[in-house]
Amino acid sequence: MGLIAKRIKLVGSRGEHETEGLFDSGASYSFIRAERLATLEPLPQPMSFGVAQRRAKLAVRERVVLDFWIDGYRFSDEFLVVDNLVDEFIIGAATMQKWRLKLDTEKEDIIVDPSVTRLRFV
């Protein structure tokens, strides 16, 4: 499991914001604190997540779609909204796998594969 803090730009339908958050390969999904950058969309059914404290559960009821920028490359994914998230955002394993982002824990940086950033329509 890897964990790296990084400052990135988040862009949604209502604006953009540059902030620091976490890339966490131990988190299943991507999360964001109370969202103001995009329109909240209710989930068809709430999702429940286990958290670090034993027996504690976190219920998520809304999501947003955001673009995010790393080293000049644009990516996009859904973020589940958690009002009391400690960090501003967490980019989790599903997003990192989708975009083939890798964590370089030695240099504390994100490795971007430029070939993945070329958009194709098939």
Cβ neighbour number for residue 6 with a 10 Å cutoff: 15
pLDDT tens track for 73-84: 999 999 999 988
Dihedral in degrees, nearest 10, Cα atoms 120, 17, 40, 30: 60
Predicted confidence (pLDDT) per residue in 36-46, tens digit: 899 999 999 99
DSSP strand pairing (109-111 vs 73-81): unpaired
- The alpha carbons of the chain give a radius of gyration, in whole angstroms, of 14
Q: What is the pLDDT of residues 13-31, one digit of tens each?
A: 999 999 999 999 999 999 9
β-pair partners for 48: 59
How does the average pLDDT of the chain come out, rounded?
Answer: 90
Q: Report which DSSP code applies to 115.
A: G
Q: Which residues contact 14 (CB under 8 A, 6 or more apart)?
A: 36, 37, 38, 39
Instruction: Report which residue type is found at 39.
Output: T
Is 10 strand, coil or helix? Answer: strand
Please state the pTM of the whole predicted model: 0.88
